[in-house]
Amino acid sequence: MNREEIENTKSLAEAVHKIFGNHIDSRSYVLKTESMTESLAQEYDAIGKNHRQETYQRIAEDFKKRTGCYGVNFPRTAFNVGTILDIGCGSGLLTLELAEQTNGNIIGLDLSEEMISLAKDNLARRSQEKTKEIKEFWKKIPEYCKPSQQDLEKLEKNHPLLERINYVRGSVYELEETDIQNINYVVCRNALHRFQYPERALEQMYTVLSHNGKIYIRDLRRDANWQIILKRIGEQRWQTQTLVQDYIGAMASMFTTEELEQTLLSLGIKEFNLSSGEYLPKEISAKEGLNEYAEDTEYVCIITKT
Ligand SMILES: C[S@@+](CC[C@H](N)C(=O)[O-])C[C@H]1O[C@@H](n2cnc3c(N)ncnc32)[C@H](O)[C@@H]1O
């Protein structure tokens, strides 16, 4: 794959044809597998860990704002937001943010064994970091309110994040057959396009939701401005051709907002709100050089179970 050639393409269809040899004129599934495995999983995780932490933080904030998922941490039992299911959680970087920014119990589900294993490593690392932070904080507080040795041991053994996050390897299509039920919030970020049968996936997400529960879907729009989509590949992704190929293949199976709307209506789902995925005020994105993220390239769909 030649970078210059791809960067000179005029449309998604042209790029897909150059890379995959397929002619596309509508939503098409050109990726070989749904599951992200081996080097693809490792590379996706590495970029996320090293360059996207702020993005994940902002998405978790956006999720709370749009779904009204607010709880208080002390005590956790008051206004507890319940269970959040992160579908297609990948290496769990958003899952971690959801856990840190809410007081819910979080389930991260992914088809890929590698992704689940990376997610568990990321959770262990983040927990250790948090434990260290708390211990540093405890050192600074006055002697009379310092925690006991017992508290310290408890913290080492059971960091709150470890207790609240559970990673499960499984498929979105089989949710109904698991004990993952009565979910208060489903999050599905950058994953809907990955499903070869999105209707079945949406049906399953809706089924396991509790009454009044909400689904937060965030993904790219297949009909977004092609020059912006190309820009969003970014220097880090260009270092790894597999990632660029995957990104362009993934674009071919993204929904347009009109298509998603039609799909939801055909499933009998009527209570939803589809809007632009912007999560930063334009002035901030311009200042931070994130213009391509501020443009209308992503959508967010909030579905409420009635
Ligand atoms: C592009 S990643 C997104 C990861 C994460 N949500 C994020 O925002 O970084 C899509 C994930 O969906 C997973 N996936 C694909 N098909 C799936 C299925 N049928 N059930 C569950 N997960 C699936 C893939 O393995 C991959 O990890």
Distance between start and end Cα atoms, the chain: 47
Q: Please indicate, yes or no, if residue 239 is contained in any of the structural domains.
A: no
The ligand 1 atom nearest the CA atom of 86: 6
Ligand 1 pocket, mutate which of 31, 32, 34, 251 (most atoms under 8 A from CB): 34
> Which pLDDT score is estimated for 276?
87
Domain count, the chain: 1
Q: Please indicate, yes or no, if residue 242 is contained in any of the structural domains.
A: no
Q: Please indicate, yes or no, if residue 2 is contained in any of the structural domains.
A: no
Distances (CA, A) of 298 to 190, 225, 255: 10, 11, 10
- CB < 8 Å & 24+ apart, contacts of 32-35: 34/111, 34/194, 34/195, 34/196, 35/110, 35/111, 35/112, 35/115
Cα 234 to averaged position of ligand 1 atoms, centre (Å): 21
CATH of the domain at 64: 3.40.50.150
What's the number of CA atoms in the CB half-sphere (13 Å) around residue 137? 9
Those residues with Cβ within 8 angstroms of residue 98's Cβ, 6 or more apart along the chain or in another chain: 60, 63, 84, 86, 104, 106, 187
Q: Please indicate, yes or no, if residue 123 is contained in any of the structural domains.
A: yes
Mean pLDDT, 10 residues at a time, the chain of 306 residues: 94 97 96 96 96 92 94 69 97 97 95 98 93 88 86 81 94 96 97 98 98 97 94 92 96 98 98 88 68 78 97
Cα 152 to averaged position of ligand 1 atoms, centre (Å): 36
The ligand 1 atom nearest the CA atom of 52: 9
> Which pLDDT score is estimated for 289?
63
Cα 42 to averaged position of ligand 1 atoms, centre (Å): 13
Residue with the smallest CA separation from ligand 1 atom 12 is: 88
Put simply, whether the predicted model's pTM sits higher than 0.85 gets the answer: yes
CB 187 within 8 A of CB 98: yes
> Which pLDDT score is estimated for 75?
62
Ligand 1 pocket, mutate which of 50, 62, 89, 118 (most atoms under 8 A from CB): 89
Cα separation, 35 vs 213, whole angstroms = 27
> Which pLDDT score is estimated for 148?
86
> Which pLDDT score is estimated for 288?
66
> Which pLDDT score is estimated for 71?
76
Residues with CB under 6 A from ligand 1: 34-36, 48, 88-90, 93-94, 109-112, 115, 171-173, 189-191, 194-195
Residue with the smallest CA separation from ligand 1 atom 27 is: 90
**Residue pLDDT, tens place only, 245-273:** 999 999 999 999 999 999 999 999 999 99
> Which pLDDT score is estimated for 294?
63
Cα separation, 283 vs 280, whole angstroms = 8
**Residue pLDDT, tens place only, 82-130:** 999 999 999 999 999 999 999 999 999 999 999 999 999 999 999 989 8
Which phi and psi (to 5°) does residue 221 adopt? -100, 130
- Nearest CA among 90, 111, 92 for reference residue 34: 111
Q: Please indicate, yes or no, if residue 232 is contained in any of the structural domains.
A: no
Q: Could you please report the per-residue DSSP string of 209-243? A: EEEEEEEEEEEE-TTS-HHHHHHTTHHHHHT-HHH
Q: Please indicate, yes or no, if residue 72 is contained in any of the structural domains.
A: yes
94, 78, 83, 262: CA torsion to nearest 10: -80
| Full domain range(s) for residue 185 | 31-221+256-304
Cα 89 to averaged position of ligand 1 atoms, centre (Å): 6
> Which pLDDT score is estimated for 252?
98
Q: Please indicate, yes or no, if residue 84 is contained in any of the structural domains.
A: yes
> Which pLDDT score is estimated for 287?
67
Cα 95 to averaged position of ligand 1 atoms, centre (Å): 12
Q: Please indicate, yes or no, if residue 20 is contained in any of the structural domains.
A: no
Cα 125 to averaged position of ligand 1 atoms, centre (Å): 21
Quick count: other Cβ atoms within 10 Å of Cβ 5? 12
